[in-house]
Amino acid sequence: MTQHGSNPLIGAAQLQQAKRILYMSHLALGDYVYQGVFLQQLAATYPHLEIDVWFDDCREQRKSWHGGRNQILGQWLESEPNISHIYANPDSEQQRQQQIQDAQQRHYDLVFFIATTRSERFCHYARLIAGDGCAVGAYALNAVQRWQHKEAIAALDASIKVSKSTRFDHISEFYRHHFHALVAMDSPARAFQQLRVPQLYLDALQNSDELDNFVFINHLSTTEKRDWQLAQVFECIATLHQAQPTLRFVINATNEQVTQLQHQVQSNNQLRDINISTFSAKRHFYELPAMISRARLVISVETAIMHLAAALNVPALALIRAKAHQWRPLGPGEILVGGKRVDSISAQTVADKALALLAKA
């Protein structure tokens, strides 16, 4: 039985008659852990539909991390059997206009979006891409912005205002509310994705003795207030090593950061007798979840890593700010909440909690 809102903007009859649909949103890995289940359920509810995804975040200026997101998120989406085609973050406005033209050539019957930022651009692009098709969306614009962009909103076939995320206890409930307001579809059985790593990437790690009995640590994010300090990482590792001398550690970093991180680890005399490796997924997204799947415990700040651990059913100790409570992971493990900054959580507090979790494993 279809379990959707009383009056979704795209009804079941429209979906049954459609052949191709485009979903647009400013996705990151963590977002997709929670949104992906709805796209999977959409495909299961309407198996005849060809589903494409636009994750260009519609920024005017390209960010330094766009390339990395395009690669890792793009590789994950391209591996999803229910997704046919993707549109990533462009290198320039010219490239974005080319993407819009390419999307127009795919003749979508239905285009829908959830945009919590730069909503006016999503309204405009959704209408351009849909052409004679149906374009609807959920936008986040205040009263002044709605007046400024009233023509873009009015050009849509239908739209709703994004409800404030603070209304919901968890981000998964926020997405559930908006997907069911937009699209007539069955309700997913789970709140987040279960990630299955292709055997190829698991096999690549299978014979590595260095990857037994280890803790995977991710201390960096895209903003300083969500980071844990490297000194705290080293203190935590030293404490854990003292309690469990056979424990090994893998510290995650981006490709750009990993060489410097290796040097910092090797030059620290207090860590000389501790088995510490650095890691970065160099060739494919699935290298990261493959590594996480081998860990006894994941310690992560509020980035996609903690959500990937949940998707892999690996125990995680998540370090988050109080205001990020809605983004807490829902998998096994524990959550430590700091104040306005993640590094307000002490290394000793993390080590104590980690040892308690390891004792349960």
Question: What would the pLDDT profile of 45-100 be if each residue is shown by its tens digit?
Answer: 999 999 999 999 999 888 887 888 889 999 999 999 999 999 999 999 999 999 99
What domains are there in the chain, each with its CATH number? Answer: 12-182 (3.40.50.2000), 200-360 (3.40.50.2000)
Looking at residues 241-266, what average pLDDT do you find? 92
Looking at residues 234-246, what average pLDDT do you find? 96
**Does residue 143 register a pLDDT over 60?**
yes
| Beta-strand relationship, 83-87 and 50-54 | parallel
**Does residue 155 register a pLDDT over 70?**
yes
Residue 352: other Cβ atoms inside 10 A: 16
**Does residue 254 register a pLDDT over 90?**
no
**Does residue 209 register a pLDDT over 80?**
no
Looking at residues 209-221, what average pLDDT do you find? 88
Question: Which helix (H) or strand (E) covers residue 217, if one does?
Answer: strand 214-218
Average pLDDT over the chain reads: 93
Give the pLDDT confidence score for residue 2 in this predicted structure: 35
* pLDDT tier at 207, thresholds 50, 70, 90: low
Greater pLDDT, 68 or 108: 108
Residue type, 71: Q
**Phi, psi for 279 (deg, rounded to 5):** -145, 145
276-279, strands of its sheet edge to edge: 276-279, 248-252, 214-218, 297-301, 316-321, 333-338
Give the pLDDT confidence score for residue 3 in this predicted structure: 40
Give the pLDDT confidence score for residue 222 in this predicted structure: 83
* pLDDT tier at 219, thresholds 50, 70, 90: very high
Helical residues (DSSP H) of 23-65, grouped into ranges:
29-45
pTM strictly above 0.85: yes
Give the pLDDT confidence score for residue 4 in this predicted structure: 45
* pLDDT tier at 1, thresholds 50, 70, 90: very low
Helix (H, G, I), strand (E, B) or coil at 198: coil
* pLDDT tier at 256, thresholds 50, 70, 90: confident
Q: For the segment 263-317, what is each residue's pLDDT rounded down to a tens digit?
A: 999 999 989 899 999 999 888 999 999 999 999 999 999 999 999 999 999 999 9
Give the pLDDT confidence score for residue 205 in this predicted structure: 85
**Does residue 246 register a pLDDT over 60?**
yes
Helical residues (DSSP H) of the chain, grouped into ranges:
12-17, 29-45, 66-79, 93-104, 119-130, 143-148, 150-154, 171-182, 199-206, 230-243, 258-266, 287-294, 304-311, 347-360
